[in-house]
């Protein structure tokens, strides 16, 4: 219990598959030629990074009318990087850091790193600033972004409100047109300005979405840091700010898995109640469950691992394993007692004779899962994930 507060929490361990991509967006109005030249420079400099096998880039994709607003326009581009066979996760992260340093030297550039995923997950950190007034949303989100950029554990910080597209805005003066007996379209103020790149809505409400990745640390600590930042910002009454992203999904998943763990313990209780027909023996078996988590928690702490959905699934599986071992032992103690042995002798004899079958059943499970637990080989994290599910 003393070690648990030192363990971080996350939704799913980051899957390293030997490839990643960088999505880049230059200021609105940037011509395609400049976008292509900029991305080509990053591509050329990235070839010298250790363990990079293949790198290719795309500059521009469609336009504002027929493309995804997040992935379109002449100012948008994407860099795809494939690592050499056998590359380790630490080498992949080193390559990402090298590219990130080069990107930070380009003025006005927004970028986001991403790895291919088998599941549709949100960005690790997302902050939703909801309200109606776009100017107020931009001000509040900009204040939060500036504070987030002062936190070293956060990186690739991006806001949906930061960039806008240049446009011609026409304001009709209906009262003046009516006074002069003109049609509405014959008088008007024409000005050039900057409009929003997009207007996002969640639950039919305008939202400024701030996203970020983690440079280090766990998701739970990062979410607490973000909450502290939000509490420092003066937020109007008509504006709501919420921390979402993987943190929200993690909380939902953890609540479901806690219920599944309690349900597993309850079902085990019912089965053993029918088998032993004794509350004393039943509680002896049930009290082996908390003892079983000692090794699991220490293993997480020693390996620097974090509590995640996979850990919860492993805990549920662990309940079945330790209860099975306890049943084998207690059942043999009861048989020895029925033969007339005293309590101490029956316990000693049961421990001596049942040790081998308990080790056999436990080791078959432990040894079978060791390759998955060590994460050896390409795609090992994904293999472990599918195996647990």
pLDDT digits (tens, 9 = 90+) for 270-318: 877 777 777 777 778 878 888 878 888 888 888 777 788 778 787 887 8
Structure tokens at 25: 């967006």
User: 112 and 23 in contact (C-beta within 8 Å)?
Assistant: yes
Instruction: Quick: pLDDT tens for 116-145.
Output: 665 555 677 888 888 888 888 888 888 888
Q: Is the entire prediction scored with pTM above 0.75? A: no
18-114 CATH pick, 3.40.50.150, 1.10.10.10, 1.10.3720.10, 3.30.70.1430:
3.30.70.1430
Alpha-carbon distance of 4 to 336, in angstroms, equals 39
Q: What is the mean pLDDT of residues 230-239?
A: 86
370 token code pair? 């060791």
CATH 1.20.1640.10 placement within the chain: 249-388
Separation CA 189–CA 194 (nearest Å): 16
- How far apart CA 49 and CA 120 sit, in angstroms, is 30
What's the burial of 313, exposed, middle or buried (CB within 10 Å: 0-12/13-18/19+)? middle
Mean pLDDT, the chain, as a whole number?
A: 80
- pLDDT band per the 50, 70, 90 thresholds, residue 385: very low
User: If phi over 0 gives left and psi between -120 and 50 gives alpha, with beta otherwise, what is residue 13?
Assistant: beta
> What would the CATH number be for the domain defined by 249-388?
1.20.1640.10
pLDDT band per the 50, 70, 90 thresholds, residue 388: very low
How distant is the alpha carbon of residue 183 from its chain centre?
56
* pLDDT tens-digit readout, 89-105: 788 888 888 888 888 88
Which residue spans of the chain are classified as CATH 3.30.70.1430?
18-114
Name the burial class of residue 177, with classes exposed (0-12), middle (13-18) and buried (19+) by CB atoms within 10 angstroms of its CB.
middle
d(CA 210, CA 11): 19
Q: How far apart are CA 1 and CA 91, in angstroms?
A: 35
Question: What percent of the chain clears pLDDT 90, i.e. is strictly above it?
Answer: 1
Neighbours of 135 (CB within 10 A): 8
* pLDDT value, residue 16: 67
């Amino acid at each position: 219990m003393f070690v648990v507060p030192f363990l971080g929490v996350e939704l799913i361990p980051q899957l390293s598959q030997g490839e990643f991509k960088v999505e880049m967006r230059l200021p609105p109005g940037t011509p395609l030629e400049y976008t292509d030249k900029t991305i080509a420079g990053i591509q050329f400099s990235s070839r010298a990074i250790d363990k990079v096998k293949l790198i290719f880039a795309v500059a521009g994709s469609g336009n504002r009318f027929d493309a995804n607003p997040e992935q379109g326009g002449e100012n948008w581009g994407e860099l795809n990087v494939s690592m050499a066979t056998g590359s380790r996760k630490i080498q992949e992260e080193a390559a990402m850091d090298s590219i990130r340093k080069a990107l930070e030297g380009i003025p006005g550039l927004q970028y986001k790193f991403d790895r291919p995923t088998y599941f549709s997950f949100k960005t690790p950190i997302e902050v939703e600033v909801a309200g109606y007034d776009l100017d107020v949303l931009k001000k509040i989100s900009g204040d939060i972004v500036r504070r987030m950029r002062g936190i070293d554990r956060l990186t690739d910080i991006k806001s949906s409100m930061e960039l806008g597209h240049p446009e011609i805005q026409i304001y009709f003066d209906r009262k003046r047109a009516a006074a002069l007996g003109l049609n509405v379209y014959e008088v008007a103020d024409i000005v050039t300005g900057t409009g929003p790149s997009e207007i996002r809505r969640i639950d039919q409400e305008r939202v400024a979405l701030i996203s970020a990745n983690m440079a280090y640390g766990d998701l739970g600590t990062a979410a607490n840091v973000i909450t502290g930042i939000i509490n420092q910002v003066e937020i109007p009454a008509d504006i709501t700010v919420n921390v979402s992203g993987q943190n929200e999904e993690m909380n939902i998943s953890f609540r479901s898995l806690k219920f599944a763990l309690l349900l597993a313990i309850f079902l085990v209780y019912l089965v053993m109640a029918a088998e032993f027909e004794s509350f004393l023996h039943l509680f002896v078996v049930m009290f082996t469950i908390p003892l079983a988590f000692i090794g699991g928690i220490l293993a997480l702490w020693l390996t620097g691992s974090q509590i995640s959905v996979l850990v919860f699934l492993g805990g549920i599986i662990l309940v079945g394993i330790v209860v099975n071992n306890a049943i084998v032992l207690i059942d043999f103690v009861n048989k020895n007692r029925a033969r007339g042995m005293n309590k101490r002798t029956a316990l000693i004899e049961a421990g001596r004779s049942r040790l081998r079958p308990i080790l056999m059943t436990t080791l078959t499970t432990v040894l079978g899962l060791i390759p998955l637990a060590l994460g050896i080989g390409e795609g090992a994290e994904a293999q472990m994930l599918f195996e647990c599910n």
